Amino acid sequence: MNRLKLNIPSPLEELIDPIISEKEVSVYVKRDDLIHPYITGNKWRKLKKYIQIFEESQKKGILSFGGAYSNHIMALAFVGNLLNIPTIGIIRGHELNKNSNQQLQLIDSLGMKLIFISREDYKKKNIPIDLEWKDYLIIPEGGYSKIGVDSMRELAQELEKENATHIITAVGTGTTAIGLAKFLSSEIIGILSLKNKAEINKNEIKQLGQNKIELLEDYSEKSYGKFDIEINAFSEKFGLEKKIPVEKIYTGKMFYALFDLIQKDYFPKGSKIIAIHTGGVYPTDPSKEIANNF
């Protein structure tokens, strides 16, 4: 895996802000966004174990699922390209094609085979029968599985010695938060991007995290509109002020929630909080990056 040239262990940086000192807590940011320009953040962390399993197997390639802007599919396409592993991406939306957006174009140029299926088929994870995928290793959407959870061990090991009282992370499927809760004794706070708390709670994978997870749904898309504009403005300002780029879906929302919780005295004085920057911010012009790298 050296060929991936990943920046691991990723840096841990202290976050400075008047409200943090006023409330007498400390905050550190785990910069998993700096692992690689495209194999970013928790997407690498969740893939790692799958890549090891693939390398020890006789499988021909790796197949996974995602939406048209899936960071998971992006990371898998890059890993496949750099390690010469054939990859297939099953993409939600029959109406789409490889030119539907820049991200899909880039993924296609990396050699991932893209298959577009209807939303109904996607829900059932119906893989087209004429596709040659029988000898492929299958990764569930977003790496949401026991393997994905166990794959978080690497990040947990990097954080262990920090003895944080709290760790805060953005949540999509919950794999990252559950993995951290499995391997660390800190309290894990997950900021939901979607209103899927009930779904995460009822899935048996959640039990792997031993119930040390606080999932907060208050910051997920209530109503697009006012709140969305607020998160957008916050994300932009945070990126400029702290020199830590974030996007509004996951990491912008997570930092917004973090400051809101600090303000509301959620954290006792003396708390040591680590915020996981789960990545998802790409260089602005993908075509330039490709030209430089290949």
Ligand X SMILES: *Cc1c(COP(=O)(O)O)cnc(C)c1O
**Does 26 participate in binding ligand X (rule CB under 6 A)?**
no
Candidates 66, 174, 252, 286; binder of ligand X (CB under 6 A) is 174
**Does 142 participate in binding ligand X (rule CB under 6 A)?**
yes
Residues 183 to 242 in contact with ligand X, rule: CB under 6 A: none
Strand order in the sheet with 187-192: 12-15, 26-30, 272-276, 166-171, 187-192, 213-216
Q: Smaller CB distance to ligand X: residue 4 or 59? A: 4
Q: Which residues contact 171 (CB under 8 A, 6 or more apart)?
A: 177, 190, 191, 192, 193, 200, 215
Stretch that binds ligand X, among 112-120, 169-177, 204-212, 231-239 (CB under 6 A): 169-177
Please state the closest distance from residue 239 (CB atom) to ligand X, in A.
14
Please state the closest distance from residue 115 (CB atom) to ligand X, in A.
21
Q: Which two tokens stand for residue 171?
A: 């949540």
Please state the closest distance from residue 192 (CB atom) to ligand X, in A.
9
Q: Smaller CB distance to ligand X: residue 114 or 275? A: 275
**Does 279 participate in binding ligand X (rule CB under 6 A)?**
yes
Residues 259 to 278 in contact with ligand X, rule: CB under 6 A: 278
Please state the closest distance from residue 210 (CB atom) to ligand X, in A.
17
**Does 171 participate in binding ligand X (rule CB under 6 A)?**
yes
Candidates 77, 107, 170, 274; binder of ligand X (CB under 6 A) is 170
CA 11, CA 34: separation in Å to the nearest integer? 8
**Does 89 participate in binding ligand X (rule CB under 6 A)?**
no
**Does 250 participate in binding ligand X (rule CB under 6 A)?**
yes
Strand order in the sheet with 113-117: 113-117, 87-92, 61-66, 136-139
**Does 66 participate in binding ligand X (rule CB under 6 A)?**
no
**Does 282 participate in binding ligand X (rule CB under 6 A)?**
no
Q: Are 275 and 254 in contact (CB under 8 A)?
A: yes
Amino acid at 45: R
Q: Which residues contact 156 (CB under 8 A, 6 or more apart)?
A: 179, 180, 182, 183, 184
Candidates 10, 26, 42, 220; binder of ligand X (CB under 6 A) is 42
**Does 251 participate in binding ligand X (rule CB under 6 A)?**
yes
Please state the closest distance from residue 174 (CB atom) to ligand X, in A.
5
Q: How far is CA 273 from CA 13, 17, 165, 254, in A?
A: 12, 13, 6, 13
CA 10, CA 16: separation in Å to the nearest integer? 19
CA 33, CA 277: separation in Å to the nearest integer? 6
**Does 173 participate in binding ligand X (rule CB under 6 A)?**
yes
Q: Which two tokens stand for residue 165?
A: 């009282």
Looking only at the bridges linking them, the beta strands covering 187-192 and 166-171 are: parallel
Interface contacts to ligand X, rule CB under 6 A: 41-43, 71, 142, 170-176, 250-251, 278-280
